[in-house]
């Protein structure tokens, strides 16, 4: 899962970034409206944390332009302006949730998880596929009740696939959603990760669709 | 009574009336004095003319008899000369001789100083018989018959003159008193009429204070126009000051919030006495900031055209629907399109946003928002807005305490617990009411009475 943070206060942005990284997200940070707008317009994000009071281009405008350009990723608006009139305006501009400052990062994480799940059409915080279960609240993965240890990259990959269960995901899409923009991308490593995951899960749920990519699906063995 | 009078005369109307009445009294007194004096002069000169006429007649009919005694060739025609003490007298004196007198003088003799010669007529006041005071004309005459000098007197009682003057003064006083009354009445009318625009400005100001108008408008007499303009300018300045203060409070509060987030995140989830204390204090700072920021924002005034609430409610419901969309709660809105709130958008949003948001947090599966006009004869136009949910609700005994500041029934549901307190504050600022009841759906029902704008 790849998230964009647009927040002009570097310390706060750093705190959010750190917590998101720890929670297993790929994170990009922009410190002003224009940069944020550009990234959101060009890169595929699974969610955006957008501060409304930004230099060079305010958050409301950024959000409106994204929605005009048909960018549909879920956006969590972050602001010190906490009147209901502000909230209504923010949500009118196309935000999916609203968090007022001051806030605790844990709350932001919870809201973000809910947003991503909702956008992927999932309704519960626990994603399941056959015996494999991923709890988005604490990032734990288990197979048939036994906890499995995954590296950060493996977790990101599996999490993205679990959110999009049953859909064919290309390698490029996977690359785009599990690495931030500064990462030196090599789509061959995806194959390495997928193999490691298959080995660790010991359950046949990640299927290779030749020439297209991967599909996560549990097929009952007769 | 005295205090009331003093109060009246210290007012503008009292002052104007008082000064006008005093001035007109002064004018009337001096006018009547002059009139009375002129009348007296006229009456006296009339008497003098008559006296001179008598004197001339007397001289005309005087002759010296062969035996050297002065006498009249015929009697004077006026009967009063023959009636004793009638008030009309004549006397002819000659030095060294007994005075020749009218019968009316009877045994009285007019004071005469024949040694002071005066051949032109002289007038004076002298004492007469029976205590009368007389107006007397006298003149020395040399009759053609001889070289003797006679001193002629004609006198008239002034009682008649004084009576006439008194009569005149009486009439004058009467006429002037009536004039005074009429003038005073006219002054009262004039003051009322003249001060009417001032009263209108006063009424206008109280309407502005009640939030029904924002400025003194309309045309005013040209000498009041500067006052109206000044009041408007003052109000504009006042508004700017309030807005500036609000903006500053807002900016301060918002500026504090980002650093506060950072501190909170740094100490969150860590133990140690000091960290716990810091966490508690930052939470307190946050609550203070929220409390004062929200109160500083309350406008509490009427808005000119009224706020169409259907649009606001739909937007609020849609916003809260988005925020709770993962819980699949059904929101229903039943509101007349024409209903308008007599107040500010921000205040309305704050009240209903908090209530609907609360309902959304507690609801099991549905939230219902209804708004309708309340028809109460002879009352200010009001509306009733009801926000209900089908959650677990609150025991009757605790309903009343919910509006208290910082009160939260469940610390696990996010929110600072200030929501309902601010709702009550805003509603009361508008002269409305907020009541909590148990909803027919099982949860909480928040029922508001708010001022409506007449369509």
**pLDDT under 70 in chain B at which residues?**
114-115, 210-212, 299-304, 378, 400-401, 403-418, 455
pLDDT at B313 (0 to 100): 93
Q: Is residue A170 part of a domain?
A: yes
User: Between chains, do A104 and B268 touch, taking CB under 8 Å as contact?
Assistant: yes
Check: CB of residue B184 under 8 Å from CB of residue B21: yes
Is the Cβ of B352 closer than 8 Å to some Cβ of chain A? yes
pLDDT at B12 (0 to 100): 78
DSSP letter for B452, please: B
In chain A, residues with a C-beta closer than 8 Å to the C-beta of B261 are: 12, 15, 101-103
pLDDT at B37 (0 to 100): 92
For residues B275 and B264, what is the distance between their CA atoms, to the nearest angstrom? 10
Q: A10-22 and A105-119 helices cross at what angle (nearest 10)?
A: 60
Q: Is A103 found in the same domain as A68?
A: yes
Domains: count for chain A: 2
Model confidence pLDDT, tens digit, residues A161-218: 988 888 899 888 888 888 887 777 776 788 888 888 888 888 888 888 888 889 988 8
Last residue of a domain, one of A71, A92, A119: A119
Contacts of B451 (CB under 8 A, 6+ apart): B302, B341, B342, B343, B380, B381, B382, B383, B430, B431, B432
In chain B, residues with a C-beta closer than 8 Å to the C-beta of A12 are: 258, 261-262, 265
Q: How far is CA B154 from CA A33, B55, B80, B157, in A?
A: 123, 6, 12, 11
Last residue of a domain, one of A61, A95, A119: A119
**Strand-by-strand arrangement of the B382-389 sheet:** B330-335, B366-374, B382-389, B444-451, B433-438
Q: Is A68 found in the same domain as A110?
A: yes
Interface of B with A in 317-346 (CB under 8 A): 318-319, 322-323, 325-326, 345-346
- Could you tell me the domains of chain B? 221-297 (no CATH), 302-451 (3.30.565.10)
Is the Cβ of A117 closer than 8 Å to some Cβ of chain B? yes
User: Between chains, do A102 and B323 touch, taking CB under 8 Å as contact?
Assistant: no
Q: Is residue A64 part of a domain?
A: yes
The enclosing domain of A193 has a CATH number of 1.10.10.10
B261, B282, B413, B257: which is closest to A103 by C-alpha? B261
Check: CB of residue B25 under 8 Å from CB of residue B180: yes
pLDDT at B417 (0 to 100): 54
Residue listed under structure tokens 């626990």: A126
Q: Is A196 found in the same domain as A167?
A: yes
User: Between chains, do B326 and A97 touch, taking CB under 8 Å as contact?
Assistant: no
- Residue span of the structural domain in which A75 resides: 2-119
User: Between chains, do B286 and A82 touch, taking CB under 8 Å as contact?
Assistant: no
Which run of H or E residues covers position B250? helix B225-267
pLDDT at B408 (0 to 100): 46
Check: CB of residue A137 under 8 Å from CB of residue A113: yes
Contacts of A105 (CB under 8 A, 6+ apart): A15, A16, A19, B265, B268
The enclosing domain of A12 has a CATH number of 3.40.50.2300
Residue listed under structure tokens 């007389």: B134
Q: What's the sign of the alpha-carbon dihedral A192, A195, A201, A206?
A: positive
Q: Is residue A63 part of a domain?
A: yes
Is the Cβ of A186 closer than 8 Å to some Cβ of chain B? no
Q: Is A92 found in the same domain as A24?
A: yes
Joined together, the tokens standing for residue B175 give 């006429």
**This prediction's pTM:** 0.60
pLDDT at A18 (0 to 100): 92
Joined together, the tokens standing for residue A90 give 């923010």
Check: CB of residue B436 under 8 Å from CB of residue B391: no
Check: CB of residue A136 under 8 Å from CB of residue A126: yes
Q: Is A93 found in the same domain as A132?
A: no
Q: Is A98 found in the same domain as A41?
A: yes
Q: Is A61 found in the same domain as A142?
A: no
pLDDT at B155 (0 to 100): 92
For residues A47 and A97, what is the distance between their CA atoms, to the nearest angstrom? 11
Q: How far is CA A64 from CA A5, A52, B196, in A?
A: 17, 12, 56
- Smallest CA–CA distance, residue A105 to chain B, in Å, is 6
Model confidence pLDDT, tens digit, residues B263-307: 888 887 777 888 888 888 888 888 888 777 777 777 655 556 788
Q: Is residue A222 part of a domain?
A: no
B357, B351, B382, B385: which is closest to B370 by C-alpha? B385
User: Between chains, do B323 and A98 touch, taking CB under 8 Å as contact?
Assistant: yes
- Smallest CA–CA distance, residue B233 to chain A, in Å, is 29
User: Between chains, do B345 and A85 touch, taking CB under 8 Å as contact?
Assistant: yes
Q: Is residue A58 part of a domain?
A: yes
pLDDT at A150 (0 to 100): 87
Check: CB of residue A24 under 8 Å from CB of residue A155: yes
Q: Is residue A92 part of a domain?
A: yes
* Count, residues in chain B: 455
User: Between chains, do A80 and B257 touch, taking CB under 8 Å as contact?
Assistant: yes
Is the Cβ of A121 closer than 8 Å to some Cβ of chain B? no
For residues B230 and B211, what is the distance between their CA atoms, to the nearest angstrom? 19
Q: How far is CA B87 from CA A81, B101, B135, B167, B297, in A?
A: 109, 14, 10, 19, 98
Q: Is residue A221 part of a domain?
A: no
Residue listed under structure tokens 């290779």: A208
Last residue of a domain, one of A87, A119, A151: A119
Torsion over CA of A119, A125, A128 and A131, rounded to 10 degrees? 160
A138, A1, A27, A100: which is closest to B264 by C-alpha? A100
User: Mutating which of B253, B259, B323, B351 best tests the A interface, going by the most A Cβ atoms within 10 A?
Assistant: B323
Q: Is A160 found in the same domain as A93?
A: no
Is the Cβ of A12 closer than 8 Å to some Cβ of chain B? yes
Q: Is residue A202 part of a domain?
A: yes
pLDDT class of A66 with cuts at 50, 70, 90? very high
Q: Is A161 found in the same domain as A97?
A: no
**Strand-by-strand arrangement of the A213-216 sheet:** A168-169, A213-216, A206-209
HEC profile for chain A? Answer: CEEEEECCCHHHHHHHHHHHHHCCCEEEEECCHHHHHHHHHHCCCCEEEEECCCCCCCHHHHHHHHHHCCCCCCEEEEECCCCHHHHHHHHHCCCCEEEECCCCHHHHHHHHHHHHHHHCCCCCCEEEECCEEEECCCCEEEECCEEECCCHHHHHHHHHHHHCCCCEECHHHHHHHHCCCCCCCCHHHHHHHHHHHHHHHCCCCEEEECCCEEEECCCCCC
- Smallest CA–CA distance, residue B323 to chain A, in Å, is 5
Count of CB contacts below 8 A, A vs B?
A: 85
Which run of H or E residues covers position B161? helix B159-209
Long-range contacts of B27-32 (CB under 8 A, 24+ apart): B28/B176, B28/B179, B28/B180, B31/B176, B32/B169, B32/B172, B32/B173, B32/B176
Q: Is A148 found in the same domain as A87?
A: no
**pLDDT reading at A30 higher than 90:** yes
Phi and psi (nearest 5°) for A120? Answer: -85, 0
User: Between chains, do A53 and B254 touch, taking CB under 8 Å as contact?
Assistant: yes
pLDDT at B413 (0 to 100): 44
Model confidence pLDDT, tens digit, residues B25-72: 898 889 889 998 999 899 999 999 999 999 999 988 988 888 888 888
Residue listed under structure tokens 């001193």: B151
pLDDT at B410 (0 to 100): 46
The pLDDT of A84-111, averaged and rounded, is: 86
pLDDT class of A106 with cuts at 50, 70, 90? confident
pLDDT class of A84 with cuts at 50, 70, 90? confident
User: Between chains, do A102 and B414 touch, taking CB under 8 Å as contact?
Assistant: no
Q: B345-362 and B273-297 helices cross at what angle (nearest 10)?
A: 130
In DSSP terms, B445 is beta-bridged to B388, B437
Q: How deeply is B362 buried, as exposed, middle or buried, from its count of CB atoms within 10 A (0-12, 13-18, 19+)?
A: buried
> What is the CB-side half-sphere exposure of residue A126 using CA atoms within 13 A?
9
Q: Is A203 found in the same domain as A108?
A: no
Interface of B with A in 387-416 (CB under 8 A): 414
DSSP letter for B71, please: E
Q: Is A97 found in the same domain as A26?
A: yes
């Amino acid at each position: 899962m790849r998230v964009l943070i647009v927040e002009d206060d570097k310390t706060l942005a750093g705190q959010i970034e750190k917590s998101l990284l720890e929670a297993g997200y790929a994170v990009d940070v922009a410190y002003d409206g224009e940069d944020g707008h550009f990234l959101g317009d060009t890169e595929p994000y699974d969610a955006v944390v957008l501060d409304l009071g930004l230099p060079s281009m305010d958050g409301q405008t950024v959000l409106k332009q994204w929605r005009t350009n048909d960018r549909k990723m879920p956006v969590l608006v972050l602001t010190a302006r906490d009147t209901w009139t502000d909230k209504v305006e923010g949500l009118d501009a196309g935000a999916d949730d609203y968090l007022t400052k001051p806030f605790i990062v844990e709350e932001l994480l919870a809201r973000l998880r809910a947003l991503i799940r909702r956008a992927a059409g999932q309704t519960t915080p626990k994603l399941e596929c056959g015996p494999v279960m991923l709890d988005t609240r604490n990032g734990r993965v288990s197979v048939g009740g036994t906890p499995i240890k995954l590296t950060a990259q493996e977790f990101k990959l599996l999490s993205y696939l679990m959110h999009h269960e049953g859909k064919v995901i290309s390698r490029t899409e996977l690359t785009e959603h599990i690495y931030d923009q500064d990462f030196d991308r090599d789509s061959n490593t995806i194959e390495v990760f997928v193999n490691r995951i298959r080995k660790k899960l010991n359950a046949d749920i990640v299927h290779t669709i030749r020439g297209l990519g991967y599909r996560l699906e549990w097929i009952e063995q007769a | 009574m005295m205090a009331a009078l003093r109060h009246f005369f210290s007012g503008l109307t009292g002052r104007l009336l008082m000064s006008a009445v005093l001035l007109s009294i002064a004018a009337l007194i001096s006018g009547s004095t002059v009139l009375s004096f002129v009348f007296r002069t006229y009456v006296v000169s009339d008497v003098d003319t008559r006296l001179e006429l008598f004197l001339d007649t007397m001289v005309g009919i005087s002759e010296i008899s062969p035996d050297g005694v002065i006498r009249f060739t015929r009697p004077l025609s006026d009967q009063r000369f023959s009636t004793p003490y009638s008030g009309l007298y004549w006397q002819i004196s000659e030095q060294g001789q007994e005075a020749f007198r009218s019968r009316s003088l009877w045994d009285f003799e007019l004071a005469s100083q024949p040694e002071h010669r005066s051949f032109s007529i002289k007038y004076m006041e002298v004492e007469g018989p029976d205590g009368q005071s007389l107006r007397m004309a006298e003149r020395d005459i040399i009759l053609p018959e001889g070289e003797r000098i006679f001193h002629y007197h004609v006198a008239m009682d002034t009682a008649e003159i004084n009576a006439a003057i008194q009569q005149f003064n009486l009439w004058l006083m009467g006429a002037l008193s009536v004039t005074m009354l009429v003038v005073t009445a006219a002054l009262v009318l004039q003051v009322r009429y003249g001060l009417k625009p001032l009263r209108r400005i006063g009424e206008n100001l109280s309407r502005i204070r009640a939030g029904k108008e924002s400025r003194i408008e309309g045309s005013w007499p040209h000498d009041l126009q500067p006052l109206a303009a000044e009041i408007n300018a003052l109000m504009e300045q006042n508004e700017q000051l309030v807005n500036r203060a609000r903006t500053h409070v807002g900016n301060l509060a918002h500026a504090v919030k980002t650093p506060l987030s950072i501190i909170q995140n740094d100490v969150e989830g860590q133990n140690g006495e000091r960290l716990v204390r810091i966490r508690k204090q930052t939470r307190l700072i946050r609550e203070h900031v929220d409390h004062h920021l929200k109160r500083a924002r309350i406008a509490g005034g009427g808005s000119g055209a009224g706020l169409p609430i259907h649009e606001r409610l739909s937007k609020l419901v849609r916003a809260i629907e988005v925020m709770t969309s993962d819980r699949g709660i059904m929101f229903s809105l039943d509101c007349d399109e024409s209903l308008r709130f007599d107040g500010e958008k921000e205040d309305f949003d704050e009240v209903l946003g908090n209530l609907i948001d609360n309902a959304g947090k507690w609801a099991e599966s549905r939230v219902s928002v209804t708004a309708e006009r309340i028809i109460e004869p002879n009352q200010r136009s009001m509306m009733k807005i009801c926000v209900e949910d089908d959650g677990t609700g609150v025991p009757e005994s605790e309903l009343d305490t919910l509006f208290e500041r910082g009160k939260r029934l469940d610390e696990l549901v996010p929110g600072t617990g200030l929501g309902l307190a601010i709702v009550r504050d805003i509603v009361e600022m508008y002269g409305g009411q907020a009541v909590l009841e148990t909803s027919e759906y099982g949860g909480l029902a928040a029922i508001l009475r708010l001022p409506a704008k007449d369509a």
